[in-house]
Amino acid sequence: MSWYKDTQRLTYVATYNTDKDAQQELEAAAKHGWMPQGTSSTEGHINVGRTLAGAALTGGLSLLFGASRSKGKITITYVRTPEWTAKHKR
């Protein structure tokens, strides 16, 4: 089972080698009530504030990877969306 299908998890930290891998998993996770809370990268630069704000306001998940960055590892911290949390109160 993929981590994003686990209904017991409320947070998850994932590390990726490529933008493509990160984008694919981010889109899959979003379908299961996850949203990125923060990102970081090694050996590169990413404009987290502007990129996350744009994605949150427009729903454009692909905006998360629009910033230029050199090769390195990408780390994304995921949290459950407020809508998912409200629907699955324990």
> Which residue ranges make up each domain of the chain?
3-87
Q: What does the pLDDT look like over 23-60, one tens digit per residue?
A: 999 999 999 999 999 888 776 555 554 445 444 444 55
Output the CA–CA distances (angstroms, integers) from residue 13 to 35, 73, 77, 87, in the order listed.
11, 13, 4, 23
User: Hey, is 22 helix, strand or coil?
Assistant: helix
Q: In this predicted structure, which of 12-16, 44-48, 78-82 has the lowest mean pLDDT?
A: 44-48
Q: How many residues does the chain have?
A: 90
Kindly indicate the confidence band of residue 1, based on its pLDDT and cuts at 50, 70 and 90: confident
33 sits in which H/E element: none
Report pTM: 0.68
Output the CA–CA distances (angstroms, integers) from residue 42 to 9, 30, 47, in the order listed.
26, 24, 13
* C-alpha span between 78 and 85 (Å, rounded): 13
Kindly indicate the confidence band of residue 62, based on its pLDDT and cuts at 50, 70 and 90: very low
